Amino acid sequence: MRIVLVVPGGVGADGIHEVIPALLSLVRRLADRHDVLVIATEQVTGRPSYELEGARILALGRSRSSPIGRARVAWRTISAIRAFRPDLIHAFWLGPGSTSAIVAGRLLRVPVVVSVGGGELVALPRIGYGGASSWRGRRHAGLALGLAAAVTAGSRSALTPMARRRRDARWLPLGAERGPEARRSGGGPEDPTRLLVAASINRVKGPDVILGALVRARTALRDDAGLSLDWLGEDTLGGSTMALARALGIADVVQLRGFHPHPVVLAAWRSTDLAIQGSYHESQGVAVLEAAMAGVPAVGTDVGLVAELARAEPPAAIAVPVGDAAALGDAIVALARDPARRARLGTAARAWASAHDASWTAAAFETLYTELTARRARRSR
C-alpha cells in the first residue's frame, strides 16, 4: 500500500531532535510493510528531503513565515501527494496540513484519515490554548471532521468534543515501545520518592499545578524521607517555572533538566517512582504510556490517558480534578506512603501499556487503512 502521512513536525532529520518518538515508531512499522511518504508541513531542517525510519520525509517548514509562504506549503503538500499517487492519506493534527490532505484526497479520490493530536477541538482562554479559540482553527477542524473518511483520537476524552459531528470517530492511541521495568522500589525510610515529568514546560502542562502540588506534598512528607521532582523537557516559559519554585520555597527539590534525547528519558523512567501530570488538557499523553511501560504509575489530572488508566480495572493510575493542586499533592503523598499500592498500580499500568504498545497501534491503523481502501475499491466498481 502507498501511504502518505501529513504531520506538522516530529520527524527531525537526525531522529533525535524535534521528534515525536511515538510517531517515529508508527512510521518505522508502516514503512516496513508499505511505501510511505511523510510530509512535515512545519518541520525546519537543513535538508528539505531525507530518509528516516525507512520512509521518505519531505520537510516544508522553511516556507511558512508569511501568508504567501503558508499558501506555498499547502500547494507543495497537495502537489507532493498527487505526485506520489497514494492509496490512502493520513493527517495527524487538525489544521492546515489536514486541510491540504482533504483537498488532495478529493482530487485523487482516495480516503483520508485524520487524527486529533492535541488541543485542536478545545478552547482554554485562561492559558491561551486551543485550536477552537480561533476561527481559522475551527474552520480547519470542521473541514476535517466533515470530510475525512475516518477520524481517530488517542483518548476517550479527546473523542468527546467531536461526539455530535463524528459519532463514528475511533479511539486509537499512539502506543509506546516495550522496554524493561523500573529498577526502583523507592520511598523507603531514607529514600526520597522520585517524581518525574517528561514534557515541554508550557502553560497547558500545568507547571503551576505541579509546583503547587509539590508544596503540599513536601509539607505532608516533612517527617518522611521527602521527595524530589525532575522535569525533562524544553522550557518554553523563559525560566518562570523555576522562579515560581524558588518563590514557593521548593527549588531545592526541583530539577528542570531541559531537553534530553529519548533514550535518556526512557532511562529516567526506570529510576522513577511516580509519573506526574498537571495538564489542563491532553489529547492522549504518550509520556504516561512510556512511564507505564516501565511499570511506573501516573498521578495526574483527569485528562487524556491518565483519566482512562485511573478508570481501568484494575486501576492503573490516579486521576484528580483538573487544576486542583491540593488534590494532586494529596495523591502524591498517599502513594509515597503506600509502596504496595504503588506497585499494584505500576503492574496494572505496564499490563495496559503492553496491550496497547506501538505494534498494536500500527496494526490497528493498518486494519483501518485496509478497511477504507477496500471500501473505496467496492465503490469504484
Residue 272, in any domain of the structure:
yes
pLDDT band with cut points at 50, 70 and 90 for residue 52: very high
3-class SS at 1?
A: coil
Count of domains forming the chain: 2
Same domain, 71 and 158: yes
The residue range of the domain holding 349 is: 193-355
**Strand ranges of the sheet holding 88-92, from the earlier edge strand across to the other edge:** 49-52, 55-59, 35-40, 2-7, 88-92, 112-115, 150-153, 170-171
Model pLDDT for residues 99-147, shown as the tens digit of each residue: 999 999 999 999 999 999 999 999 999 999 999 999 999 999 999 999 9
Same domain, 158 and 282: no
Model pLDDT for residues 162-189, shown as the tens digit of each residue: 988 899 999 999 999 998 887 665 555 5
- Name the helix (H) or strand (E) containing 78: helix 67-84
The pLDDT assigned to 187 comes to: 53
- Half-sphere exposure at residue 14, Cβ-oriented, CA atoms within 13 angstroms: 7
List Cα–Cα distances, 341 to 68, 153, 273, 314, 331, in angstroms. Answer: 56, 30, 12, 12, 12
Same domain, 212 and 333: yes
Q: What is the mean pLDDT of residues 9-20?
A: 94
Same domain, 293 and 324: yes
Same domain, 33 and 168: yes
CATH number of the domain where residue 200 is located? 3.40.50.2000
Residue 180, in any domain of the structure:
no
**pTM (2 d.p.):** 0.94
Query: Taking a C-beta distance cutoff of 8 angstroms, is the pair 175, 22 a contact?
Result: yes
Looking at residue 82, what DSSP letter applies?
H
Q: What sign has the CA pseudo-torsion 126, 130, 132, 133?
A: positive
Residue 187, in any domain of the structure:
no
Same domain, 217 and 334: yes
Residue 255, in any domain of the structure:
yes
Residue 184, in any domain of the structure:
no
Residue 31, in any domain of the structure:
yes
With a pLDDT cut of 70, the percent of the chain lying above it is 96
Same domain, 301 and 258: yes
